[in-house]
Amino acid sequence: MTTFVEGPVRVTVPATSANLGPGFDSLGLALSLRDELEAEVLPEGLVVEVEGAGADTAGGGVPRDETHLVVRAMRAAFDLMGEQPPGLRLSCRNLIPHARGLGSSSAAIVAGVVLARGLVAGGQLLASDDALFDLAADLEGHPDNVAPAFFGGFVISGREDDRWYAVRAGVDPRITAVVFVPPTGVETKVARGLLPEVVPHADAAANSGRAALLVAALTGQPEHLLAATRDWLHQEQREPAMPDTLALVRRLRADGVPAVVSGAGPTVLAFGTADTSDLIGRCPDGWACHDLAIEPDGAVLLT
């Protein structure tokens, strides 16, 4: 019989940026912006508390019931370990903006599975890191945000023989990132719905070459970042849903700044290798801009 721990457990999970230009559904970075969550087992019932992003119940906030994404991930992890708790309290302090291409859903899923394991005595023996990552990627449907949210840093991920894989690579310490976050979001399913089913072979070949170059650029040759972040597969195709985003990407790239759509958008991520005050100074009116580091740690369970 499963034994649950007494008292709350806490976890922090980083924001992430996926795709990074040509690395569609395969490359992702953890960023130094974190959600903070706490959970504990109750004798009965479910209590969900939210502050920050998604807290406004009158304005399309996140649900406070079993459909909450963190709760769903926790339930899936408890099933993996063999038993559900009698009741739960979940408290979320959400700093990662929702529907902006910064991995808020992956952060929620990763937080949920890590919290659930932390609430089970001996949880590490019942659910390994690999098992939790597989579960999180299954829940999300693709691993490019889940992998850096779980493991931290720069991660190359994908699926092989019905299993997910994630390989970390070091990031050149000179590289930083600035994110330009617009005031309104775009749902991932809307952005994905704009992608064509078939792409020209030449575009696929060009993209694969730039994705390979991007790994080299991020891991030690940042002078190649501008060329390495060129994309043919998904950014311009999504322009109808986020015209201001693509306009900003083009303006920055025309000035030699390696700028990309973050994830499915509409946030723009720009890589820097020195003082980024000039990039912050280009923040469009009404947007929120943040100078972030590449976060080496993924989800961290706090004691």
Specify binding-site residues. 97-107
| b/e burial code for range 224-252 (CB count within 10 A of at least 16 → b) | bbbebbbbbbbbeebbebbebbbebbeeb
What is the distance between the alpha carbons of residues 266 and 247, in angstroms, rounded to a whole number?
11
Q: Closest Cα to residue 174, out of 228, 223, 229?
A: 223
Tokens of 35: 């959600």
In this structure, what are the phi and psi dihedrals at residue 24, rounded to the nearest 5 degrees? -60, 125
Query: For the CA atoms of 72, 74, 75, 81, what is the dihedral angle to 10 degrees?
Result: 150
Q: What is the CB neighbour count within 10 angstroms for residue 221?
A: 13
Instruction: Show binding-site residues for ATP.
Output: 97-107
User: Residue 248: in which H helix or E strand, if any?
Assistant: helix 243-254
State whether residue 223 is helix, strand or coil: helix
Give, as one character, the DSSP assignment of residue 233: S
Tokens of 58: 């009158």
Cα Rg of the chain (Å, integer): 19
Q: Closest Cα to residue 105, out of 46, 134, 62, 75?
A: 62
Q: Are strands 87-94 and 300-302 parallel, antiparallel or unpaired?
A: unpaired
- Amino acid type, 77: A
What is the distance between the alpha carbons of residues 148 and 286, in angstroms, rounded to a whole number?
29
Close Cβ partners of 212 (under 8 Å, ≥ 6 residues apart): none
